[in-house]
């Protein structure tokens, strides 16, 4: 199930094209939705003592988007190494054309900012993400 984002007027620039920085925001919206759908929403993770900062983002812009376009964002777990999680995104317009492909990398840290021992301390989370990994 894809996350749907409708391009807002304020997300466009003087040329009427979506400003590139907004795609990063859409990735976060889609990622939060994805984690909630698999049973691991951010509130739950934070209550467990985990934070997951972004450590890297890449975006390849394929086609422009404009005001009121509906963008479908598919999210998948590309790789999971216990502490590091790599998420892939494919964004398509309502014609089914890919407008952006992207990836974000995240670290799982404890409240003190140290790498979390996900496999040992959070085995259910580890198992869920491992099973969703494309490279499994």
Distance, CA of 129 to chain centre: 13
The residue among 19, 21, 96 whose CA lies nearest residue 65 is: 19
Q: 33 and 39 in contact (C-beta within 8 Å)?
A: no
13 is an active site residue: yes
CA gap 113, 33 in Å, rounded? 24
Candidate list 13, 60, 94, 127, residue with the active-site label: 13
Q: Active-site positions?
A: 13
């Amino acid at each position: 199930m894809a996350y749907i984002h409708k391009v807002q007027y304020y997300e466009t620039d003087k040329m009427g094209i979506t400003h590139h920085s907004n795609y990063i925001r859409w990735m976060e919206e889609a990622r939060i939705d994805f984690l909630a759908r698999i049973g691991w929403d951010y509130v739950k993770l934070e209550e467990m003592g985990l934070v997951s900062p972004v450590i890297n983002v890449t975006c390849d812009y394929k086609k422009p988007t404009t005001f009121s376009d509906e963008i479908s964002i598919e999210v998948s777990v590309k790789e999971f190494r216990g502490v590091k999680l790599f998420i892939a995104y494919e964004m398509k317009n309502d014609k089914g054309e890919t407008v952006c492909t992207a990836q974000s990398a995240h670290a799982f840290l404890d409240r003190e900012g140290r790498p979390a021992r996900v496999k040992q301390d959070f085995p259910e989370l580890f198992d869920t993400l491992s099973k969703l990994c494309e490279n499994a």
